[in-house]
Every structure is written in C-alpha cells, then in structure tokens.
Amino acid sequence: MTWFYDPLRTYEDNYSHGPFGSWAEVAADAVTGSGGDVTDRGAPAHTFLGHPVHRPFGIPAGPLVNAAFCEAALAHAFDIAVYKTVRTGAHPTHPFPNCLAVTTDGPLDPDRLDTLVAGADLDAARSISNSFGVPSRDPDKWQPDMSRAVAAAGPGQVLVGSYQGTRTGGGEDAYVADHVRAATLCVEAGAPVLEMNLSCPNEGTGHLLCFDTELVTRIAGAVKDAVGDVPLVLKLAHFASQPALEEFLAATAPIVDGYAAINTVPARLVTPAGDQALPGWGREVAGVCGEAIGPAAVAMVRRLAQWRVDAAAQFAIVGVGGVMGLRDVAAHVAAGADAVMSATGAMIDPELGRRVAAASWPV
C-alpha cells in the first residue's frame, strides 16, 4: 500500500502517524522547513479566489486530515490543499473500516441508488467508499494545527479551511450560529479561503443540507456577514433536479464566492455474500468516490458553468470527482472548472500533483 492516507489503518492511526508511503519522509522534512522539491516554479500563473497559485489544482476536503498531511501535499505540488472538514466541537469517527474498495460496472448514475459490492483488494481499487462521519477534534486542538497548515503554503499555494455545522438540538437558530462559529474559528486560525460542507449526510442521504435552499441561504448570509472578505465556497452534492439547482444558485450566488462539486455519490454497499459491508447502524448506504463518479462530477460542473453564463453571474467552480489522471483534469476544465481537485486519485497516486505541475494548464 503506497497511499499517503492508509485505508488499512484506522483514522486515528492515520491522524497520529501519517502521512504514509512516499509522503512520510517529505512530511518530516516539511516540518523543518526543507520539505519537497517544489521550490523554484517561477511566478504563479493563475489565481484561485484572489490568491496566486502555480496550478489551480489540489486535494479536496478529506484525505488531508491534519497539518502534517497538508504540508506533504503542498510539498508535492498540490497547490490548493483543503484541510479536512472541522466542527465547533469534538466529534467521533465512524468505526473502522472507512474506505473499502468498491466494484462498479462503470460510471455511477447519481440519480439511482445502486447496490455495489465492496471489500475487494484496495491495491487495485479505482473507486472507494468514504464513511467517516466527519470526525473533528475540539477547536483548541485543530485551530493551532490548521494555523500550521496555513503557514505551510508557499508562494503560489493556498490552504482552504473546510468546516460544517453540527445540529445540537437547539433548533435552526442554533444551527445557523454553529456554522458562523465554525467559519469564524477557521478565519481565526488564518484560513484565507473557507469551504462550507453542505453535502454530508447529516440527517440521512436524502436530506443533505445543500437541498434546503432557504436554510443554506440563511446560513451563507450569516457566515458572510461574519467573515467579510474571506472567500466562501459551498461544497455540493450532485443535484438530480435542474430546477432545484437553478433555484439554489439564484439564491446563493449573490452571497458566496464559489461552488465545489461534487461530494460522494451514495450507494448501498454489500459484501460478496450480500451482507452490509460497513459495520454499524446507519451505514448500509455510504458515499462512493473515485473513478466511478467522474462523469457525474463533470456533468455537474458543466451545469454550474452553463448557469453562470446564462445568469451572467460570477463565481469560481471547483471541479471534484473522479480525477485519477491528467485526462480527468482536462475534462473538468473543459466543462468549466476554474480549479480541479482529486481525493481518491491523489490517494492512489501521490505524485499526481507533480505531474499536473509539470504539464501545461489547461492540461
């Protein structure tokens, strides 16, 4: 296993001892300020939400679980590093395992809930499950660590702070306030760009926050009032309904600075014998990411870009999903993405950032 996030180890093991594989050594170097060989790349030729970047390419929220992972990613020319989603309080991880190899017949149809066999050899995986439950340390712990990650971004690189709100039983006002607090904590930690995760199955996969336009509009407005000029990106799931997507964009585009799409595509995961693949209540259905969601992700980027033209709106589009190599980066850019990110593909190929850095852009 050469992955920098090792899915054969627990989340805690990864957090405490990672990154692994070829990133292990560089991460140690990076702490002393000498990490990586990405030091002389000339002047950054692109911008991402007002920040100069060498390449508008990086790793989305998830695999970079703390500063050590972010440092290694930046040292490996992933010029946009998203610190894994944090919360306003400590939150436990779903039981191990979290990432299983998922076998598909081809691209997933995001409008259908497929039943897929999970648990094959991870070394041969192209698509995986992602079932963590969005764990978080307390802000006392993650704030200094996020600050360390922010400081690791060199010239032409940027660190994005991802966060999400937690329902604490205090009703909608408390939920809005929790988002504002999470965003403010990230800004206090120095995050120059924010991403709000609206696509985590908080209350079941059918009720993702991004499908509640009214509530998201209220939350995004409150967050923007609190964080001022710090750019805010909304992380979306795939929208089945075009009218719902258009209504969502019309309401939120005047408030926010960009959209990242997509998060994982849900599927029912079973063992070869047909049993539930991931242990525990509420885990029959889990998010699938990697190669199988590429076409769904590119299609969603294309719809965002088309609406941006039709509405003469201005916002950044971050293409996420199924980016396994340079061809997939090109597909996202051709669909209208201003920046592209890879989670599963980067985990499998930790040198993907350097290969993108060595290629021209658009790829």
Ligand X SMILES: Cc1cc2nc3c(=O)[nH]c(=O)nc-3n(C[C@H](O)[C@H](O)[C@H](O)COP(=O)(O)O)c2cc1C
Encoded amino acid at 74, one letter: L
Q: Which of 58, 62, 319, 350 binds ligand X (CB under 6 A)?
A: 62
Asked if 132 is part of the footprint of ligand X (rule: CB under 6 A), the reply reads yes
Closest distance to ligand X from the beta carbon of 44 (Å): 23
Residues in region 213-272 near ligand X by CB under 6 A = 235, 263-264
Among 15-23, 45-53, 210-218, 341-349, which window interacts with ligand X (CB under 6 A)?
Answer: 341-349
* Chosen residue from 320, 339, 348, 352 binding ligand X by CB under 6 A: 320
Helix axes 139-152, 67-75, angle to 10 degrees: 10
Neighbours of 8 (CB within 10 A): 14
Q: Which stretch binds ligand X (CB under 6 A): 111-119, 211-219, 288-296, 351-359?
A: 288-296
Task: Please tell me whether residue 60 binds ligand X under the rule CB under 6 A.
Answer: yes
- The answer to the question of residue 344 lying near ligand X (CB under 6 A) is yes
Under the criterion CB under 6 A, does residue 289 sit at the interface with ligand X? yes
Count CB atoms within 10 A of the CB of residue 240. Answer: 11
Residue span binding ligand X (CB under 6 A) among the ranges 18-26, 143-151, 272-280, 337-345: 337-345
Closest CA to 52 of 36, 41, 62: 41
165 binds ligand X (CB under 6 A): no
Residue with tokens 């599927």: 267
Please identify, using beta-carbon distances, which residue of 165 and 322 lies nearer to ligand X: 322
Q: Is the dihedral of CA 296, 78, 216, 139 positive or negative?
A: positive
Smallest gap from residue 239 Cβ to ligand X (A): 14
Rounded CA gap, 48 and 338, in Å? 8
For residues 333 and 304, is the Cβ–Cβ distance under 8 A?
A: no
β-bridge mates for residue 127, sequence order: 290
Q: In this structure, which amino acid lies at residue 232?
A: L
> Taking CB under 6 A as the rule, does residue 159 contact ligand X?
no
The CA-based angle 63-229-77, given to 5 degrees, is 35
Binding site for ligand X (CB under 6 A): 5, 60-63, 84-85, 99, 130, 132, 134, 162, 197, 235, 263-264, 289-290, 293, 320-323, 342-345
